[in-house]
Amino acid sequence: MNVTIVDYNSGNISSVINSFKEVAKNKVNIKVTSDLEKIKSSDKVVLPGQGSFKSCVDALNNINGLVDTLNEFATNNKKPLLGICVGLQMFAEVGYEEIETKGLGWISGRVSKIDNQDGKFKLPHIGWNQINIVKDSQIFKGVKNNSHMYFVHSYELVPNDKSVVSATTDYSSNIVCSVEKENIFGTQFHPEKSDKTGLKIIDNFINL
């Protein structure tokens, strides 16, 4: 089986690559590429994202045909795709970081700044926080509710359809931190930086 991590120059993804390789232990072929043919022929795709919503969308658009290839993979062929951090946020129709920017549109909704309640909550939301699993998601198999995950973000996904939400975390409000919609999965937290529990989530995705 081939799992491809999309490398579209969106920042340092070495920890994502290392954790997937650690979990795969040579049983699964982990590729890191922006080659469209290799992405198309993959069984599963991972879309990481670091930086701002706009910078990640721009980086995707800078690679000719990449957005179309991802659309074909996830929405036409219904193959499993995991978005991490801004990778998840880009599932939305629109993001408001820097300037209004169109997202991939896979999940109806927007990405907006976390309400820090006039400075009561520091931004970015950074460090370990508990997650509240609100639906039986395939990637949470064997993961205990209220497990701690590692976060670094100032913006949150606000989906119109709450049925896609698989976990939330409490920071200023109930923030969506994981989604599952058919074959599309996303985590706002970083599973690759979330110790053994994060590796379990990666393992669950690989074994879907």
Q: Which residue is catalytic, options 97, 156, 180, 192?
A: 192
Q: How far apart are CA 188 and CA 85, in angstroms?
A: 4
Spell out the alpha helix ranges (H) of 41-189: 53-61, 66-71, 86-89
190 token code pair = 């970083």
Contacts of 170 (CB under 8 A, 6+ apart): 129, 130, 132
Taking each continuous run of H as one helix and of E as one strand, the counts in the chain are: 6, 13
Instruction: Respond yes or no: is residue 37 known to be catalytic.
Output: no
Q: Which residue is catalytic, options 153, 177, 180, 190?
A: 190
Q: Which residue is catalytic, options 85, 153, 156, 180?
A: 85
40 token code pair = 């198309």
Instruction: Respond yes or no: is residue 125 known to be catalytic.
Output: no
Q: How far apart are CA 165 and CA 137, in angstroms?
A: 9
Instruction: Respond yes or no: is residue 85 known to be catalytic.
Output: yes
Task: Give the catalytic positions in this structure.
Answer: 85, 190, 192
